Amino acid sequence: MVRKGPVERKEAIERALRDGRSHFEFRSETRRFLLSNSINIAIGIALVVAVWWVVAEVMIYTRGALFPTPPETISALWNALNGAELNGETIYYHTGSSMMRWGTGYAIALIIGIAVGISFGTLSRLYDTGMVSVYVVQMIPGLAWVPIAMLIFGLGESATVFIILMTAMPPIIINTAGGIRQVPPVYNRVALMSGKSRISLFTSVLIPAASLSIIDGMRIGLANGWRVLIAAEMVLGAMVGLGATIYDSRYSLDFVSAFICIMVICFIGLAIEKLFFAGLENAVRNRLGLDKEA
Amino acid sequence: MLASLKNVSKVFVNPRTGKGLVALNDVSIQVEQGDFLCLIGPSGCGKSTTLNLLAGFELPSEGEVLFKGKPITGPSPERGVVFQEFSLYPWMNVLQNVAFSVRSGNRSEREEIARKHLGLVGLLDFAHAMPNELSGGMKQRVAIARTLAMDPDLLLMDEPFGSLDEQTRRKLDNEVLSLWKGQGKTVVFVTHSIEEALMLGTRVVLMSASPGRINQEWKIDLPWPRDPLSPEMTALKKDIVKSLQVCSCANGASQGGFITISGSEE
């Protein structure tokens, strides 16, 4: 049914008025939306860079601090992207090892979080007691997991992955369970009166109906995991990684490298949010029939 | 007898607030094969509760709800419901929504049955439309097609056209009537419109609120299409309006039909 007419908006409106029709179609203006979206992102980034630059110049002038300025950092980033090493490894290696840790922790958080969220969402009694524990875990700040992770896993990769898992999981559980509980009762009733099995109730009704909420949880969980990854790397004695490099600048005074890593972190976060999740949400919204046509 | 409520009471309690609601108090109804039974009454008189009991979404607090002589223990495709609110799955197209409720067959067989029933409600051309592309009246017609496609013995309709405009509602009333005649189904139809009940039903049952009870029943053996302005219809309407005014429900309904039960009693 979603057919777009070949005519521009203005002309289509004129034609519809002239012909006395109540519905009309025109060439969709996706490109214009994409453009304004990109402009918004560019302005947002420019603002942050401007404030950074002012602060850097003021610090250099008043305190004589080695505060890296945006041009200095960007040219160093260029060199790093061309293979210059920082903190003993290439930027690619640091980014790769950070993303590996984060990916592992996040993947486990997704599997456990969605499974637990679905069971909490369906079973009221489990929800009432279980959610208390989830909220307690959610209240624990990311860095507070460091001693716990050390006691269980010692120093190293497993401890880092554990911290990411524990901080990414609660919002996934909360949103999945909440989403399923908010499915309109009539959706359940239709499936029940049609004699559907429990499995088919889940796959055909509950999960699609709750999917936007589940995606929200994935989003928050992802951001939580990404933030704590940097912190966890700082403390748990990782030798490589974006967080480890930032932490090392305390001793090496290589603040430019630290700033490069901060930029990479921001860029990856922004890319995942704007490219991956925004796209995923749009696709799901479309699939759910939520983007109503005028 | 196809279905019946025998001395049924339904009580809802909220243990947290200590408030309770008697939705139905000692209600008995018998639904015969081929009936078009209209339930009318003010809001809060237990019409929807009665329907939910027949559907199996609720179980009685006291008494028995029977279908083909056996107690109803839960929802079943033998008893199809057309809901008051829009109930199509927005992520499925019209055909998929209808095919979802078809009981047996592989995918193409189910779609074939779904197409047949979409044809009955005149929406075959919209088989591949998404629900949000349809008007309110079309959505309810799809919902009717979906319920018919389940091939239920009892069709339960809970104010299916309550949210539609007058013109659309009349049109759909007539469609339901011809489907009922054509398919030989049994229908229980909840409405708050006396006129709608009189235009459709073979039986009109008036319920009163606070607590919900059966007030009175009229058997109507006028042929269709009925003229709402004919002397018989006008007389019936007057009679029903009089019963409505006399019954205790008028006050109860204005208080929202709620009563408080102290903890020791319930």
Separation in Å, CA of A209 to nearest CA in chain B: 8
Question: What integer pLDDT is reported at residue A86 of this predicted model?
Answer: 81
Whole-number pLDDT of residue A155: 81
pLDDT in tens, B159-178: 988 888 888 888 889 888 98
Least confident range from A2-11, A120-129, A251-260: namely: A2-11
Element (H, E) at A282: helix A278-287
Q: In what order do the strands lie in the sheet with B62-67?
A: B19-31, B3-14, B62-67, B70-71
Q: What is the pLDDT of residue B179?
A: 86
Residues of B in contact with A289 (CB under 8 A): 90-91, 130-132
Chain B residue closest to A184 (CA)? B87
Task: Say yes or no for a CB contact (<8 Å) between B90 and A288.
Answer: yes
Are B101 and A205 inside 8 Å of each other by CB?
no
Contact A189 B100 (CB under 8 A): no
Q: Which chain B residues are closer than 8 Å to A187 by Cβ?
A: 87, 89
Distance from CA of B162 to the nearest CA of A (A): 16
CA gap B196, B176 in Å, rounded:
12
The per-residue pLDDT for B168 is 83
Instruction: Give pLDDT, residue B247.
Output: 61
Taking 60 as the threshold, does the pLDDT of residue B143 lie above it?
Answer: yes
Q: With 80 as the cut, is the pLDDT of residue A291 above it?
A: no
pLDDT of residue A152: 92
- Distance from C-alpha of B83 to C-alpha of B68, rounded to nearest angstrom: 23
Please judge whether A189 and B81 are an interchain contact, meaning their C-beta atoms are less than 8 angstroms apart. yes
Here the tokens at position A205 are 């009704």
Does B258 score more than 50 pLDDT?
no
Instruction: Give percent of chain A above pLDDT 70.
Output: 96
Q: 3-class SS at A178?
A: helix
Strand-strand pairing, B213-219 and B203-208: antiparallel
Assign A237 a pLDDT band (cuts: 50, 70, 90).
low
Q: Is there a contact between A206 and A183 (Cβ–Cβ < 8 Å)? A: yes
Please judge whether B57 and A192 are an interchain contact, meaning their C-beta atoms are less than 8 angstroms apart. Answer: yes
Question: Quick check: A22 contacting B, CB < 8 Å?
Answer: no
Min Cα distance A122 → chain B (Å) is 17
pTM of the model: 0.78
Q: Give me the mean pLDDT over the A54-59 stretch.
A: 94
Residue A20: how many other CB atoms lie within 10 Å:
6
CB proximity list for B80: less than 8 A, separation 6 or greater = A193, B101, B147, B148, B150, B152, B154, B155, B156
Which residue of chain B comes nearest to A287, CA vs CA? B91
Average confidence score pLDDT of chain B: 87
Neighbouring CB atoms inside 10 A of A84's CB total 14
Distance of CA A256 to the CA centre of its chain: 26
Identify the weakest region by mean pLDDT among A233-242, B41-50, B133-142. A233-242
Residue B54 has pLDDT above 80, yes or no: yes
Which chain B residue has the Cα nearest residue A211? B91
Are B28 and B5 contacting, i.e. CB atoms less than 8 angstroms apart? yes
The answer to whether the CB atoms of A193 and B79 lie below 8 A apart is yes
Which pLDDT does position A24 carry in this prediction? 82
Adjacent-strand bridge partners of B203: B37, B219
Contact A290 B101 (CB under 8 A): no
Backbone angles phi, psi at A240, to 5 degrees: -120, 165
Would you call B75 and A293 a contact, using CB atoms and an 8 Å cutoff? no
| Residue A182 to chain B, least CA–CA distance (Å) | 15
**Higher-confidence residue: B253 or A126?**
A126
pLDDT value at position B43? 81
> Inter-axis angle of helices A242-252 and A255-271, to 10 degrees?
160
What whole-number distance in Å separates Cα of residue B38 and Cα of residue B47?
Answer: 10
Q: What is the pLDDT of residue A233?
A: 83
Residue B231 Cα, gap to closest chain A Cα (Å): 41
pLDDT at B147 over 60: yes
Do B202 and B218 meet the contact criterion of CB atoms below 8 Å apart? no
Q: A9 falls in which pLDDT band (50, 70, 90)?
A: confident
Give me the phi and psi of B170, to 5 degrees please: -60, -40
Weakest-pLDDT range from A184-193, A232-241, B28-37: A232-241
| Average pLDDT score over residue span A255-268 | 89
Report angle CA B180, B185, B187 to the nearest 5 degrees.
80
- Answer whether A1 sits within 8 Å of B100, measured CB to CB: no
Instruction: State residue B252's pLDDT score.
Output: 44
* For residue B260, pLDDT beyond 60: no
Q: Give the pLDDT confidence score for residue A5 in this predicted structure.
A: 56
Tell me what pLDDT residue B200 has: 92
Judged by average pLDDT, the poorest of A148-152, A283-287, B108-112 is: A283-287
Average pLDDT, integer, range A76-91: 86
pLDDT interval class at A50 (50, 70, 90): very high
Length in residues, chain A: 294
Contact B91 A1 (CB under 8 A): no
CA A265, A266, A267, A272 dihedral sign is positive
Residue B255 has pLDDT above 70, yes or no: no
Mutate to test the interface with A, among B78, B88, B91 (most CBs of A within 10 A): B91
Mean per-residue pLDDT of chain A: 87
Which residues on A lie below 8 Å from B95 (Cβ)? none
Q: What is the DSSP string of B177-246?
A: HHHHHHHT-EEEEE-S-HHHHHHH-SEEEEEETTTBEEEEEEE--PPSSP-TTSHHHHHHHHHHHHHHHH
pLDDT greater than 50 at residue A104: yes
**Is the pLDDT reported for residue A190 higher than 90?**
yes
What pLDDT is stored for residue B263 in this prediction?
36
Going by C-alpha positions, the residue among B191, B199, B190 that lies closest to residue B237 is: B199
